[in-house]
Amino acid sequence: MLIKVMLNLVVRNIFKQRGREWVYDLFQKRLTLKETCLEYIKLSQDKEFEKEVQSYIIENNQKRKSNTGLSGDLVEWMITGVKKSSDKLPDLGELGIDVKCLPLRLKKEGYFPTEKLSITSFSNILVEKQSFYESNLINKSKYLMVYFDDSKFYKGSQKVKGGIDHFERVILDVDFVDLSSYFNIMEKDYDYIKNQLLEHINGKKNAISSKQYGRDKEEQILHIKQAGMGAKQTRKYVSVSGIEYEFFPRKWNIGQAAFSRLFLNKIKP
């Protein structure tokens, strides 16, 4: 209980530094995303945000594929006060913190992620050259996490017919996640995956494991997975030593089981 109270103070202070404590209070009401957005519009009088929400509502009703990032875009806008940009800097730049959304569903043991947490792109050439502590993973280690309760969209582990309605997601909680205390484990994971990449470059078949936790199921945090549905084909790469090889574009991720084990035990139904 004390840990939860302390984390709440950390999160509230992050919002306070942005002058947006009232948004934190709004997120604590456990409203649907649509209800939260409408409340935000009343409080902020942000006409640009209102226009965006209305366009998303129309798209959502039409079931358009462009709604993939709808939840994250609207949540980030409410937290930062500005529309999401393509800038590579952290979302809360002066604090070095990224805003991330993660959908959860309720199981007997508690809340569990319905998807992995994507951290950043996997750069083959940089992984070859850099150690873990030289990598961009160090700068992508602090997150303001917004959790959605997607339980209503699941029957067991399967999505119900009709899939997920973004606007009916419930904003469950806001938390602060700092991976820096796990860097010693993540370095082992990084080195393990780096060695797999080098073996793949040098012609060893099946060197890259398809398993999330090929190094150590009980400890491993980092893994790499194919980078989304748009990356179905391998691409050609050239190694530092000039070897040409094919590889699927991938991303650094934290798997569901690892994230649940490390960060979700504090969230109550």
- For 174, 188, 263, the CA distances from 256, given in Å and listed in that order, are 18, 19, 10
Residue 66 has pLDDT above 50, yes or no: no
Mean pLDDT of all residues in 105-132: 92
Asked which of 26-30, 65-69, 188-192 is least confident by mean pLDDT, the reply is 65-69
Do the beta carbons of residue 43 and residue 60 sit within 8 Å? Answer: no
Higher pLDDT, 225 or 195: 195
Structural domain 2-263, CATH architecture = 3-Layer(aba) Sandwich (3.40)
Tens digit of pLDDT for each residue in 227-236? Answer: 665 556 888 9
Q: What is the C-alpha to C-alpha distance for residues 249 and 115, in angstroms, rounded to an integer?
A: 18
More confident residue, 225 or 126: 126
* Strand-pair partners of 236: 246
- DSSP letter at 160 equals P
Mean pLDDT, residues 41-52 taken together:
95
Query: What tokens appear for 20 in the block?
Result: 């947006």
Segment among 57-71, 142-156, 185-199 with least mean pLDDT: 57-71
For residue 238, give the amino acid letter.
Answer: V
Mean pLDDT of all residues in 157-175: 89
d(CA 34, CA 13): 25
Per-residue pLDDT at 143? 95
Assign 243 a pLDDT band (cuts: 50, 70, 90). Answer: very high
Kindly report the number of other CB atoms within 10 A of residue 13's CB atom: 13
What's residue 200's pLDDT? 95
What residue segments make up the domains of the chain, in order of their start? 2-263
DSSP letter for each residue of 35-83: HHHHHHHHHH--HHHHHHHHHHHHHHHTT-GGGGGHHHHHHHHHHHSS-
Mean pLDDT for the stretch of residues 66-73: 72
